[in-house]
């Protein structure tokens, strides 16, 4: 007899849960239980797997790099040097998604900046939906399971800033965090933007392992000539390094204005 018959499984990682246990030992998620389906319900022939096309959300800001819009169930990793505009881009996208889904909030998991600092940036950008972008105060650690928070607020867009600060030097933990977020992206039907710090050589920290756990890997860098100082009109380049749902590499160029990042064209 199958010992798992009649048992429960974790909603996030599908591990078998011990009787009476509400927390998954593997991924630590809470309250995510569902009855194990019959074996026939767990398989499908490839020719019969006919579903709706991928839903892409048009942002009118980064659609080219994301392959025609951000796929609604995608988990996206973005690296970049300090000052490139990762926070600005994250807040602008959160604002755009709040416009697109007026009944839902965006969730910004912040362990790099305080809510007050993010509020100041949002005011400078004159965001339309400041009261619908919920900041998770994660500096110094977080007392709850992040999955509980995602299920509680059902966001339309998720920002994690940053996975590097959360995982420290443990690249394996960073991979697990990205994998868990991807599971919730599918369950909640909302995309995530995961900010990653870069190494001294200008590469993603832990990229070789993390890029397999996400759908799109991008880089946001500053185009400075030797000896040039950073200014608002210094061009920024957003590029896709890998994209499961579109071509890569693809580049877009931006400048920082008083109201945020705006796309520009660079002369050849």
Contact by Cβ (8 Å): 96, 59: yes
Whether omega before 162 lies within 30 degrees of 0, making that bond cis, reads yes
Q: What is the pTM of this model?
A: 0.81
Report, as an integer, the average pLDDT of 27-34. 57
Report, as an integer, the average pLDDT of 110-126. 96
Contact by Cβ (8 Å): 113, 86: no
Q: How many domains does the chain have?
A: 2
Residue range 90-110, pLDDT digits in tens:
999 999 999 999 999 999 999
Do residues 144 and 30 share a domain? no
- Which one-letter DSSP state was computed for residue 212? T
Q: Calculate ∠ Cα 125-130-132, nearest 5°.
A: 145
**21 part of a folded domain:** yes
Do residues 197 and 122 share a domain? yes
Residue range 165-176, pLDDT digits in tens:
888 888 889 899
Report, as an integer, the average pLDDT of 232-258. 94
Q: Which comes out higher in pLDDT, residue 19 or 185?
A: 185
- 3-class DSSP state for residue 167? helix
Is 80 exceeded by the pLDDT of residue 223? Answer: yes
The residue range of the domain holding 39 is 8-48
Report, as an integer, the average pLDDT of 50-76. 93
Do residues 28 and 111 share a domain? no
**3 part of a folded domain:** no
Confidence (pLDDT) at 3: 40
pLDDT above 90 coverage of the chain, percent: 60
**In angstroms, rounded to a whole number, what is the distance separating the alpha carbons of residues 75 and 267?**
32
Do residues 83 and 185 share a domain? yes
Is 80 exceeded by the pLDDT of residue 264? Answer: yes
Do residues 31 and 88 share a domain? no
Do residues 106 and 14 share a domain? no
Q: In which band, very low, low, confident or very high, does the pLDDT at 228 lie, cut at 50, 70 and 90?
A: confident
**227 part of a folded domain:** yes
Structure tokens that stand for 148 in this block: 């509980």
Helix (H) or strand (E) holding 35: strand 33-35
Do residues 73 and 20 share a domain? no
Do residues 42 and 150 share a domain? no
Distances (CA, A) of 131 to 13, 135, 174: 33, 10, 30
Is 80 exceeded by the pLDDT of residue 43? Answer: no
**64 part of a folded domain:** yes
Report, as an integer, the average pLDDT of 55-73. 97
Do residues 23 and 90 share a domain? no
Report, as an integer, the average pLDDT of 242-255. 96
Q: Indicate which CATH number applies to the domain containing 129.
A: 3.40.50.300
Do residues 44 and 78 share a domain? no
**2 part of a folded domain:** no
DSSP states of 122-163: HHHHT-TTGGGEEEEE-TT--SS-HHHHHHHH--SEEEEE-H
Do residues 167 and 257 share a domain? yes
Query: 198 pairs with which residues across the strands?
Result: 204
**132 part of a folded domain:** yes
**In angstroms, rounded to a whole number, what is the distance separating the alpha carbons of residues 91 and 88?**
5
Is 60 exceeded by the pLDDT of residue 34? Answer: no
**240 part of a folded domain:** yes
Query: 220 pairs with which residues across the strands?
Result: 80, 238
Report, as an integer, the average pLDDT of 64-83. 95
Residue range 8-30, pLDDT digits in tens:
777 666 678 777 676 777 777 66
Confidence (pLDDT) at 42: 67
Using alpha carbons only, how large is the chain's radius of gyration in Å? 20
Do residues 12 and 137 share a domain? no
| From 41-45, 85-89, 133-137, the region with the lowest mean pLDDT | 41-45
Contact by Cβ (8 Å): 15, 9: yes
Q: Whole-number mean pLDDT of the chain?
A: 86
**24 part of a folded domain:** yes
Confidence (pLDDT) at 38: 57
């Amino acid at each position: 007899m199958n010992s798992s018959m009649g048992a429960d499984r974790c909603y996030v990682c599908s591990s078998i849960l011990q009787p009476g246990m509400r927390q998954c030992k593997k991924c630590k998620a809470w309250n995510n239980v569902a009855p194990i389906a019959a074996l026939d319900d767990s398989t499908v022939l490839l020719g019969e797997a006919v579903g709706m096309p991928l839903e892409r959300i048009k942002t009118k800001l980064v659609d080219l790099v994301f392959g025609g819009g951000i796929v609604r169930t995608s988990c996206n990793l973005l690296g970049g040097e300090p000052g490139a505009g990762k926070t600005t881009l994250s807040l602008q996208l959160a604002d755009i998604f709040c416009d697109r889904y007026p009944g839902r909030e965006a969730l910004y998991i912040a362990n790099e900046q305080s809510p007050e600092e993010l509020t100041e940036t949002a005011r400078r950008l004159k965001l339309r939906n400041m009261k619908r972008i919920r900041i998770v105060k994660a500096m110094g650690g977080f007392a709850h399971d992040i999955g509980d928070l995602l299920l509680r607020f059902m966001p339309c867009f998720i920002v994690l800033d940053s996975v590097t600060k959360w995982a420290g030097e443990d690249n394996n933990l960073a991979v697990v965090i990205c994998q868990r977020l991807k599971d919730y992206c599918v369950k909640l039907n909302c995309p995530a933007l995961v900010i990653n710090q870069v190494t001294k050589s200008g590469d993603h920290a832990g990229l070789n392992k993390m890029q397999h756990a996400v759908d799109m890997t991008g880089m946001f860098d500053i185009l400075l000539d030797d000896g040039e100082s950073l200014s608002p009109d210094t061009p920024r380049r957003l590029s896709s390094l890998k994209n499961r749902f579109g071509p890569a590499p693809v580049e877009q160029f931006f400048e920082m204005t008083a109201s945020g990042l705006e796309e520009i064209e660079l002369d050849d």
